[in-house]
């Protein structure tokens, strides 16, 4: 059982979790149209084109892990990457602008939710292809090692990714070359619209990692104290050069696969039970038990909502990309067929 955190540390973790929750709640409404609690009025049409993959209910994992990462450490994400991006230190307003397709976004409005990246804080990118972030993480870690850089790489992926080839390939490469990679499996129990357990042979991510000689630790991914303490130990080991390891965090995806998915395929009792383990509610209860005040929690939540409201307003007013930028940042094959 991990040692209890100090009140100040728990407060900082809660601050990060509440920022992610506030962002996801507002982004969800922006993708559906309507009016949110953040002062947003989308009218009849959505301001974010296309559905979003929300990380609502999974906030404890990125916050607990990224608390131990430095700006020079790398991170790769998934299609459900808003929480990872914010936890690594990326600018909230620029991410909202990217979702709105505006020129002030991280990718100039051309990448959207599944291609957000901020190299300035080591966030190497979200990825729309399941398991594709794993070999990118391993490649980044190997490149850094060859350059003599000091740092670790955190690689987030879902439980659905462990049934794809890049998972085993990446663990194998990282182990063979003793790379400082923290593989983080966010086991939210669902692979798109299919329950993961019936589709996964054996005992899951941890067992497969151990079979390849990669140490693995399981943790309650909805307990931010447990994630924080466990990640602290694993990251410290990585910095000592012990080679890769895996953190298997069991959590739950509260929302549907995408922001416009009602998830009618999911059993209502299962969802209700999952809501009882909400990571933010649990952290708030723990904070109060340690002597924190309800007023302080209200201030933290209000600050998160105010920050998101400002980001929404900025994204709404930001300019659209110039038409000519459609021809920049595009790879050419040299044969002229893109002209």
User: 212-261, pLDDT tens digit by residue?
Assistant: 999 999 999 999 999 999 999 999 999 999 999 999 999 999 999 999 88
Q: What is the pLDDT of residues 7-62, one digit of tens each?
A: 999 999 999 999 999 999 999 999 987 555 555 544 446 688 888 999 999 999 99
- Residue 285 pLDDT more than 50? yes
Higher pLDDT, 335 or 211: 211
pLDDT of 208 > 60? The answer is yes
Which pLDDT score, from 0 to 100, does residue 225 have? 97
Q: Band of the pLDDT at 335, cuts 50, 70, 90? A: low
Assess whether pLDDT exceeds 90 at residue 3.
no
Compute the distance between CA of residue 319 and CA of residue 337 in angstroms, rounded to an integer.
30
Task: Give 4's pLDDT tier (boundaries 50, 70, 90).
Answer: confident
Cβ–Cβ < 8 Å for 175, 244:
yes
List C-alpha distances in Å: 327 to 104, 110, 144, 155, 323: 17, 11, 31, 31, 8
Q: Label residue 282 by pLDDT band (50, 70, 90).
A: very high
The confidence score (pLDDT) of residue 2 equals: 52
The burial of 122, by beta-carbon neighbours within 10 Å (0-12 exposed, 13-18 middle, 19 or more buried), is given as buried
Count Cβ atoms below 10 Å from residue 297 Cβ, excluding itself: 18
Q: Buried b vs exposed e over 308-324: b needs ≥16 C-beta within 10 Å?
A: bbebbebbbebeebeee
CATH fold of 49-267+308-317:
Rossmann fold (3.40.50)
Q: What is the pLDDT of residues 80-96, one digit of tens each?
A: 999 999 999 999 999 99
The fraction of the chain above a pLDDT of 90, given in percent, is 83
Q: Where are the domains of the chain?
A: 49-267+308-317
Angle (CA) 84 82 38, round 5° = 130
The Cα 49–Cα 192 span in angstroms is 20
**Looking at residue 63, what is its pLDDT?**
98
The answer to whether 62 touches 80, Cβ cutoff 8 Å, is no
Q: What pTM was estimated for this model as a whole? A: 0.92
Q: Coil, strand or helix: which one is 219?
A: strand
């Amino acid at each position: 059982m991990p040692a209890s955190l100090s009140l100040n540390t728990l407060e900082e973790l809660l601050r990060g979790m509440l920022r992610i929750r506030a962002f996801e709640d507002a982004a969800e409404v922006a993708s559906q149209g309507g009016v949110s609690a953040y002062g947003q009025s989308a009218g009849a049409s959505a301001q974010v084109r296309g559905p979003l993959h929300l990380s609502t209910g999974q906030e404890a994992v990125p916050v607990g892990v990224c608390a131990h990462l430095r700006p020079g450490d790398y991170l790769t994400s998934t299609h459900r990457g808003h929480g990872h991006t914010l936890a690594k230190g990326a600018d909230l307003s620029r991410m909202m602008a990217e979702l709105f397709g505006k020129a002030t976004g991280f990718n100039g409005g051309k990448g959207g939710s599944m291609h957000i990246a901020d190299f300035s804080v080591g966030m190497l990118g979200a990825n729309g292809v399941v398991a594709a972030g794993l070999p990118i993480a391993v490649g980044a870690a190997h490149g850094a090692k060859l350059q003599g850089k000091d740092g670790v790489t955190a690689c987030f992926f879902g439980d659905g990714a462990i049934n794809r080839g890049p998972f085993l390939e990446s663990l194998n490469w990282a182990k063979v070359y003793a790379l400082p990679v923290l593989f983080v499996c966010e086991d939210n129990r669902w692979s798109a619209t299919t329950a993961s357990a019936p589709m996964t042979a054996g005992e899951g991510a941890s067992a497969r990692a151990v079979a390849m000689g990669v140490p693995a630790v399981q943790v309650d991914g909805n307990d931010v104290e447990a994630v924080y303490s466990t990640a602290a130990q694993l990251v410290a080991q990585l910095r000592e050069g012990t080679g890769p390891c895996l953190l298997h965090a069991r959590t739950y995806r509260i929302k549907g696969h995408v922001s416009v998915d009602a998830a009618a395929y999911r059993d209502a009792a299962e969802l209700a039970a999952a809501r009882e383990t909400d990571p933010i509610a649990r952290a708030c209860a723990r904070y109060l038990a340690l002597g924190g005040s309800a007023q302080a929690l209200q201030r933290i939540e209000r600050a998160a909502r105010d920050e998101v409201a400002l980001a929404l307003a900025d994204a709404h007013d930001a300019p659209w990309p110039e038409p000519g930028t459609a021809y920049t940042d595009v790879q050419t094959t040299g044969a002229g067929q893109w002209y």
